[in-house]
Chain A
Amino acid sequence: NAGVTQTPKFRVLKTGQSMTLLCAQDMNHEYMYWYRQDPGMGLRLIHYSVGEGTTAKGEVPDGYNVSRLKKQNFLLGLESAAPSQTSVYFCASSPNRPSHSNQPQHFGDGTRLSIL
């Protein structure tokens, strides 16, 4: 039972390069989220999805794109990486709307991304 799996776990990019982070969950969850975490800032929501084929902007969406072509996968893309995007990225999933009746969000291990 893998839960939420993120790939890659570490990556170093040069400014201007592009890359895609993959999040996969095997729990048949409807909702998926991408966060970034920076020192002193806590987790900030980048984009999220409430179901296959749907995406929505979070708090800090600029410079990122996402796709949810399959229910189990949520991809985060950086088209032209910038040093300000150096961060730890977490993916999370939940069965449906966060509530007390279910585990609100299950998180992946994180991806540490450095942009030089």
Chain B
Amino acid sequence: RKEVEQDPGPFNVPEGATVAFNCTYSNSASQSFFWYRQDCRKEPKLLMSVYSSGNEDGRFTAQLNRASQYISLLIRDSKLSDSATYLCVVKGWDGNKLVFGAGTILRVKS
């Protein structure tokens, strides 16, 4: 089983739609969680950290469920510019590394 698993998609949604991605992780001791965004042929960039109580940044909301070991990302009012691959990232067991999921592809269409 992979340490971090994501639905690869693609998720094809119209502009203005709400879309949610889930991610599961296997290491119950993981303490830090993040969502990264990666545009085609570009480097990954931090989108937001994921906190235990859930957190929001504009149209983006991240949730963490430790009991079920999953993380979610909700995007409201999707924009064309949100089209990208979203990477779920978990801090590794030794604390020195990040473990990346394979990513979920989002395509927002007009």
- Residues of A near any B CB (own CB < 8 A): 31, 33, 35, 40-45, 48, 50, 56, 58, 90, 97-100, 103-105, 107-110
Check if A98 sits within 8 Å of B32, measured CB to CB: yes
- CB-CB under 8 A from A97, the residues of chain B are 95-96
| Complex alpha-carbon distance, A45 and B46, angstroms | 17
Cβ A40 vs Cβ B95 within 8 A = no
Q: Does B70 contact A (CB under 8 A)?
A: no
- The docked-state distance in angstroms from the alpha carbon of A58 to that of B96 is 11
Which one of A43, A48, A100, A110 contacts B87 once the chains associate, using CB atoms below 8 Å? A43
- Whether A48 lies near B51 (C-beta < 8 A) is no
On whether the beta carbons of B43 and A110 are closer than 8 Å, the reply is yes
**How many angstroms between the C-alpha atoms of A44 and B102 in the bound complex?**
9
**Which residues of chain A come closer than 8 Å to B44, judged between CB atoms?**
43, 90, 107
